[in-house]
């Protein structure tokens, strides 16, 4: 059984079809990479999965259950965690406090559990040395790590990552990929939207390409990257 399945999901803003009849499935433990040009509808797809945006039509199933009508916090409690393209920490709170807050309110954990989770996640994301740093004072790499850590603190089974490597230097992106590889190795299912293609290819089991809100291609990473239509849309991109 798939952990997540979308069936004919649709969303429009006025006349603009941002998500146009998307059907996809993600197996437990799988990492699905999402590619597509700017404005293709990738973040909207995440919003439809996390519940931040309500679909106009179609169905979202998680663990075999229809969650289309559930609110974001209900989906988060059920195990769907996400990061945002623009990191959204509480800037005046410390890294540790941000994680405890995510674990309590996103993950529905007791305060005691949340403290333990926050400590584990600090270690997993390389943020231990910054536990008491105000989130607003972090470098870009550590802000990205915190964004990942806040999602992890909710104890997701399904982790949605929105351009987590964007803006990082090559060595920084490599560090982040190593952290994601460890998270993948402990069985977390992931969907990762990313323009940094080589980072995505080092983790993705399968790719799904979106253009103008529709599926353009789907399949094994190398085959998708060699697809002439995908290459045309990503003109000049090296596979
Ligand atoms: N709340 C909204 N109201 C109106 N239009 C919206 C809204 N949200 C998104 N859009 C439009 O929907 C389209 C898809 O946006 P979306 O953010 O999903 O694309 P994306 O593929 O994630 O882009 P990027 O790679 O630049 O992040 C864009 O044209 C965007 O302007």
Nearest-angstrom CA–CA distance, 210 and 233: 10
Residue 87: per-residue pLDDT: 81
Structure-model confidence comparison of residues 106 and 3, the more confident one: 3
- Label residue 136 by pLDDT band (50, 70, 90): very high
Residue 43: per-residue pLDDT: 96
CA of 48 to the centre of ligand 1 (A): 12
40 lines ligand 1 (CB under 6 A): yes
13 lines ligand 1 (CB under 6 A): yes
pLDDT higher than threshold 50 for residue 77: yes
Closest residue by Cα to atom 8, ligand 1, is 44
Alpha helices (H) in the chain, listed in sequence order: 42-50, 72-78, 95-101, 111-124, 140-152, 170-185, 197-201, 221-225, 228-233
Residue to mutate (ligand 1; options 18, 53, 194; most atoms within 8 A of CB): 18
**179 SS3 class:** helix
**172 SS3 class:** helix
Angle formed by the axes of helices 170-185 and 140-152, nearest 10°: 10
The residue behind tokens 């004072």 is: 137
Give the pLDDT mean for 193-211. Answer: 95
Residue 235: per-residue pLDDT: 60
Atom of ligand 1 nearest to the CA of 53: 1
Residue 238: per-residue pLDDT: 47
Residue 90: per-residue pLDDT: 87
CA of 74 to the centre of ligand 1 (A): 24
pLDDT higher than threshold 60 for residue 54: yes
CA of 113 to the centre of ligand 1 (A): 37
- Label residue 237 by pLDDT band (50, 70, 90): low
CA of 182 to the centre of ligand 1 (A): 31
pLDDT higher than threshold 70 for residue 236: no
Residues paired with residue 192 on neighbouring β-strands, in sequence order: 33, 161
* Fold of domain 1-79+157-239: Rossmann fold (3.40.50)
Helix (H) or strand (E) holding 174: helix 170-185
pLDDT higher than threshold 90 for residue 201: yes
Domain boundaries, the chain: 1-79+157-239, 89-155
Express as a percent the part of the chain with pLDDT over 90: 92
- Residue 102, CB half-sphere, CA atoms under 13 Å: how many? 32
């Amino acid at each position: 059984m798939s952990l997540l399945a979308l069936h004919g999901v649709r969303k429009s803003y006025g006349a603009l079809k941002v998500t146009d009849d998307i059907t996809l499935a993600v197996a437990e433990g799988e990492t699905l990479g999402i590619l597509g040009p700017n404005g293709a509808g990738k973040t909207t797809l995440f919003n439809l999965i996390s519940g931040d945006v309500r679909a106009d039509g179609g169905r979202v199933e998680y663990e075999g259950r229809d969650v289309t009508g559930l609110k974001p916090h209900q989906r988060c409690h059920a195990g769907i965690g996400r990061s945002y393209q623009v990191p959204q920490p509480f800037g005046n709170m410390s890294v540790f406090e941000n994680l405890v807050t995510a674990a309590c309110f996103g993950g529905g954990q007791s305060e005691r559990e949340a403290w333990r989770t926050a400590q584990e996640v600090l270690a997993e994301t390389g943020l231990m040395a910054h536990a008491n740093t105000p989130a607003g004072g972090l470098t870009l790499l550590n802000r990205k790590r915190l964004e990942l850590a806040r999602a992890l603190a909710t104890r997701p089974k399904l982790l949605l990552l929105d351009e987590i490597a964007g803006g990082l230097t090559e060595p920084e992106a490599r560090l982040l990929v190593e952290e994601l590889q460890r998270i993948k190795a402990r069985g977390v299912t992931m969907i990762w939207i990313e323009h940094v293609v080589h980072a995505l290819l080092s983790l993705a089991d399968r790719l799904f390409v979106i253009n103008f809100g529709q599926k353009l291609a789907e399949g094994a990473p190398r085959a998708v990257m060699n697809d002439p239509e995908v290459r045309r849309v990503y003109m000049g991109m090296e596979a």
